[in-house]
């Protein structure tokens, strides 16, 4: 049968192509002869073949008229779509990313299904031979998601060991060693974005490219403390289901625990003296001054990405988040009113050798203490000294224990002096209201607002007790504030004066400069409240001061259920180690072990998507080691939110010879071991 089809000049020119490349490709996909003379296309062959070829030509014409550029690969896309009873335009019109002259779109029906799966599912596995566009399309979709702000980060990773090689045997530094393995990912990135933008994203941590082994160790030493609703606990003692404190101050459950073995660890210290230990790959949420000025969101960086970059123009570069609300701890019953305890710790005599006394020049504080202590009346002894007497005790009557003395003994405060006072644990690990009340009592007695022209008001507090200093810092940090400490040595200091007499200093003085978040009232004393409100308290801020190696330690990683995956560790430092709001691509996944595959899957955070690609016929693991990609297909197939897309030789979009090579190998393996799975055929 012969059929002539008259084409427009535009369509005829497009189908001719350079040196008739399009026509030759068309003949390779239809079972008839194809001739083009001018704008008349002639088809010769069996009737059924000619009808099929006419349909292909019609679809190609529509694509040209819609503005598509026809290439030899387009013929395969059109014929594949028609064979699958899909519209070719539906496949080829789905442009996932545009960059200058680059337009990325599916070229086969399977690629279209792959793109749809990534958009629809949280985790997508793409399994198939090389050249099918698995990685390229995934990177394009990641770039598109980042540009639309659907995610905050792109994380590209692949196993760093292939074909039996080891990084340690390669020359050069670490980047030189891993570059050959990560080069395909870098190449895809540079096809999608400007080189300057790629460099900027890599520098800011928006794009992270690392070997898979670097993704596992976001961990802390097992002895480091993590805050829980009942107080600090070592991270090594936590189990799935335990509650820890999130960045919002509320409890959040631990949903996974991953022992990481012995690793090199570093100490991260902030400018206010807070510190903790973690591995170099541990994640931190940070913000730079430029981010703050431009209104940009917080970014997530690895610890080692901040080393050597902690200052910019003599200014701290990386700001750390503080708890966004006062930490919620379990309420406890206490024998003394928290505010009264704060006043007594500041200006009370707690030796228990005599009736407790209180010294203040502010009658307002004496009245407040009197009102806070049930069964106690304050009796003035001098202009500034008051005795805390039992209301039921009278001279010459029955001896009755003083309620305050009894409470002090219960709290182990009886007998303490100015250099040994402390806040009892049941007040430290108590409700927000109780902690604020204790702090207000301390600041009303031994603290106060400090004003400076042109600056907001800071809070000053002084004590002779190192333990009380640390307890006050703990309460301030638990409320979302910061405290800077300095010490004045007693030795060599000029004596003070009281009532025209010199008073020599017997103990060192510890001074705290405190910043509290808005909404936390630090004082109750009226004159201090008015001064503080008039000048404002400013905003507490915390910055990374130093990162220093401290050796090796046994480490563990936890994952929490909080939406931002943040939790509170030592000194109320806010940190995390899961991958939130990220687009994660694991390439060459056939070379992962089952343990590595589980590790990366369980790193998935909220608002994230993950694409895992690999070819199970090209596994480079030792012969006795099963591939994690083969194992995961048996475990997760059919799980909601997880999809598997399998490619074949017909999806190869590289040189036609590559497609024929893939098909030849598949046929050979089928003949050699027809009953084995692909991974087993490879070993056979």
Cα separation, 183 vs 209, in Å, equals 10
DSSP run (H or E) holding 476: helix 466-478
Any idea what DSSP says for residue 321? P
Do 585 and 526 share a domain, yes or no?
no
Contact 568, 323 (CB under 8 A): yes
Cα separation, 684 vs 674, in Å, equals 11
What does pLDDT average to in each consecutive run of 10 residues of the chain (684 residues)? 83 72 74 82 85 80 69 65 61 74 77 89 92 89 89 83 48 56 78 85 78 71 94 93 94 87 93 94 88 84 88 90 94 94 94 89 93 89 90 60 90 93 95 96 93 84 95 96 92 78 84 93 94 87 95 90 88 82 89 86 81 89 86 89 86 64 70 53 43
* CA-based nearest residue to 141, from 86, 185, 95: 95
The pLDDT value given to residue 347:
93
DSSP string, 198-212: HHHHHHHTSEEEEET
Do 391 and 528 share a domain, yes or no?
yes
Among 576, 597, 632, the domain-final residue is 576
What total number of domains does the chain contain? 3
CB-neighbour burial class of residue 78 (10 A; exposed 0-12, middle 13-18, buried 19+): buried
Task: Give me the CATH number covering residue 530.
Answer: 3.10.28.10
Do 600 and 570 share a domain, yes or no?
no
Any idea what DSSP says for residue 328? P
The pLDDT value given to residue 684:
42
Cα separation, 438 vs 372, in Å, equals 12
Do 520 and 583 share a domain, yes or no?
no
Do 296 and 428 share a domain, yes or no?
no
Determine, yes or no, domain membership for 208: no
* CA-based nearest residue to 53, from 39, 36, 65: 36
Locate 141 and state its tokens. 């979709």
Do 552 and 521 share a domain, yes or no?
no
* CA-based nearest residue to 287, from 297, 302, 272: 297
Determine, yes or no, domain membership for 449: yes
The pLDDT value given to residue 226:
95
Residue pLDDT, tens place only, 60-72: 777 777 666 666 6
Task: Give me the CATH number covering residue 112.
Answer: 3.40.50.300
Do 529 and 551 share a domain, yes or no?
no
Any idea what DSSP says for residue 323? P
Among 535, 558, 586, the domain-final residue is 535
Determine, yes or no, domain membership for 80: no
Do 616 and 667 share a domain, yes or no?
yes
Residue 423's domain comprises 387-496+503-535
Do 248 and 311 share a domain, yes or no?
yes
Cα angle at 242 between 240 and 244, to 5 degrees? 120
Determine, yes or no, domain membership for 184: no
Do 570 and 629 share a domain, yes or no?
no
Determine, yes or no, domain membership for 209: no
Q: Where are the beta strands (DSSP E) in 171-250?
A: 207-211, 220-221, 225-228, 231-234, 243-245
Strand partners, 319: 287, 543
Contact 206, 288 (CB under 8 A): no
Do 304 and 250 share a domain, yes or no?
yes
Continuous H helices in 373-452: 403-410, 425-428, 432-446
Do 229 and 151 share a domain, yes or no?
no
Q: HEC states along 114-132?
A: HHHHHHHCCEEEEECCCCC
Angle, helices 432-446/466-478, rounded to nearest 10 degrees: 130
Those residues whose C-beta lies under 8 Å from the C-beta of residue 434, and which sit 6 or more positions away, are 331, 332, 334, 338, 427
Cα separation, 197 vs 203, in Å, equals 10
Reduce the DSSP state of residue 96 to 3 states and report it: coil
Locate 56 and state its tokens. 């292909």
Strand partners, 560: 254
The pLDDT value given to residue 57:
80
Determine, yes or no, domain membership for 13: no
Task: Give me the CATH number covering residue 226.
Answer: 2.170.16.10
- What pTM was computed for the model? 0.73
* 386-395 CB contacts, 8 Å cutoff, 24+ apart: 386/357, 386/358, 386/359, 386/360, 387/355, 387/356, 387/357, 388/355, 388/356, 388/357, 388/358, 389/355
The pLDDT value given to residue 164:
42
Q: Mark residue 45 as left, alpha or beta (left: phi above 0; alpha: psi -120 to 50; beta: remaining).
A: left
Determine, yes or no, domain membership for 301: yes
Q: Specify the residue for token string 């995390």.
A: 576
Cα separation, 202 vs 209, in Å, equals 8
The pLDDT value given to residue 406:
92
The pLDDT value given to residue 660:
67
Determine, yes or no, domain membership for 650: yes
Give the phi and the psi of residue 228 in degrees, each rounded to 5.
-125, 170
Instruction: Compute the Cα dihedral for 407, 412, 417, 420 and give only its sign.
Output: negative
């Amino acid at each position: 049968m012969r059929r002539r089809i008259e084409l427009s000049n535009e369509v005829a020119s497009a189908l001719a192509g350079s040196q008739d490349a399009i026509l030759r490709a068309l003949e390779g996909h239809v079972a008839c002869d194809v001739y083009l003379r001018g704008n008349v296309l002639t088809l010769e062959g069996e009737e059924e073949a000619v009808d099929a070829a006419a349909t292909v030509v019609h679809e190609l014409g529509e694509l040209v008229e819609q503005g598509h550029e026809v290439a030899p690969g387009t013929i395969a896309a059109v014929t594949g779509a028609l064979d699958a009873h899909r519209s070719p335009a539906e496949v080829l019109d789905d442009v996932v990313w545009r960059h200058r002259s680059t337009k990325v779109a599916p070229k086969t029906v399977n690629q279209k299904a792959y793109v749809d799966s990534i958009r629809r599912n949280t985790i997508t596995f793409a399994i198939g031979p090389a050249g099918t566009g698995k990685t390229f399309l995934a990177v394009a979709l990641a770039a598109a998601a980042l540009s639309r702000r659907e995610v905050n980060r792109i994380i590209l990773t692949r196993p760093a060991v292939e074909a039996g090689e080891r990084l340690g045997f390669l020359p050069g530094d670490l980047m030189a060693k891993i570059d050959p393995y990560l080069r395909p990912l870098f190449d895809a990135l540079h096809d999608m974005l400007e080189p300057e933008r790629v460099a900027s994203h890599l520098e800011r941590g928006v794009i992270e490219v690392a070997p898979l082994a670097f993704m596992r160790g976001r961990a802390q030493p097992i002895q480091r403390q993590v805050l829980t609703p009942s107080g600090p606990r070592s991270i090594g003692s936590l189990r799935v289901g335990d509650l820890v404190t999130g960045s919002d101050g509320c409890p959040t459950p631990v949903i996974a625990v991953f022992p990481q073995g012995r690793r090199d660890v570093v100490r991260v210290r902030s400018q206010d003296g807070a510190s903790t230990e973690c591995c170099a790959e541990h994640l931190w949420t940070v913000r730079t001054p430029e981010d703050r000025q431009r209104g940009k969101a917080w970014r997530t960086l690895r610890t080692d990405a901040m080393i050597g970059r902690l200052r910019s123009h003599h200014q701290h570069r990386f700001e750390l988040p503080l708890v966004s609300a006062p930490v919620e701890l379990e309420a406890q019953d206490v024998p003394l009113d928290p505010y009264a305890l704060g006043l007594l710790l500041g200006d009370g005599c707690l030796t228990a050798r005599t009736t407790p006394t209180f010294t203040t020049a502010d009658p307002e504080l004496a009245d407040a203490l009197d009102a806070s202590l049930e069964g106690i009346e304050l009796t003035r002894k001098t202009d500034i000294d008051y005795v805390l007497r039992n209301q039921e005790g009278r001279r010459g009557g029955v001896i009755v224990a003083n309620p305050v003395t009894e409470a002090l003994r219960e709290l182990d405060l009886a007998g303490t002096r100015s250099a040994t006072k402390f806040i009892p644990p049941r007040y430290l690990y108590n409700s927000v209201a109780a902690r604020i009340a204790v702090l207000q009592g301390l600041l009303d007695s031994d603290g106060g607002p400090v004003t400076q022209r042109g600056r907001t008001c800071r809070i000053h507090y002084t004590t002779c007790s190192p333990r009380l200093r640390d307890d006050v810092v703990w309460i301030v940090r638990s409320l979302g504030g910061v405290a800077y400490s300095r010490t004045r040595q007693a030795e060599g200091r000029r004596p003070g004066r009281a009532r025209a007499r010199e008073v020599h200093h017997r103990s060192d003085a510890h001074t705290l400069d405190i910043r509290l978040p808005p909404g936390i009232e630090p004082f109750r004393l009226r004159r201090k409240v008015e001064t503080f409100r008039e000048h404002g308290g400013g905003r507490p801020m915390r910055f990374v001061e130093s990162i220093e190696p401290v050796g090796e330690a046994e480490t563990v990683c936890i994952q929490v259920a909080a939406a931002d995956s943040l939790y509170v560790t030592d000194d109320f430092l806010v940190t995390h180690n899961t991958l939130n709001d990220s687009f994660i691509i694991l390439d060459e996944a056939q070379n992962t072990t089952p343990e590595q595959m589980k590790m990366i899957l369980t790193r998935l955070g909220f608002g994230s998507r993950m694409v895992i690609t690999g070819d199970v016929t090209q596994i480079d693991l030792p012969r006795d080691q099963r591939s994690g990609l083969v194992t995961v297909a048996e475990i997760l197939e059919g799980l909601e939110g997880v999809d598997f897309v399998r490619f074949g030789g017909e999806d190869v979009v590289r040189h036609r010879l590559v497609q024929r090579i893939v098909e030849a190998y598949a046929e050979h393996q089928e003949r050699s071991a027809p009953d084995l799975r692909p991974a087993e055929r490879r070993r056979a």
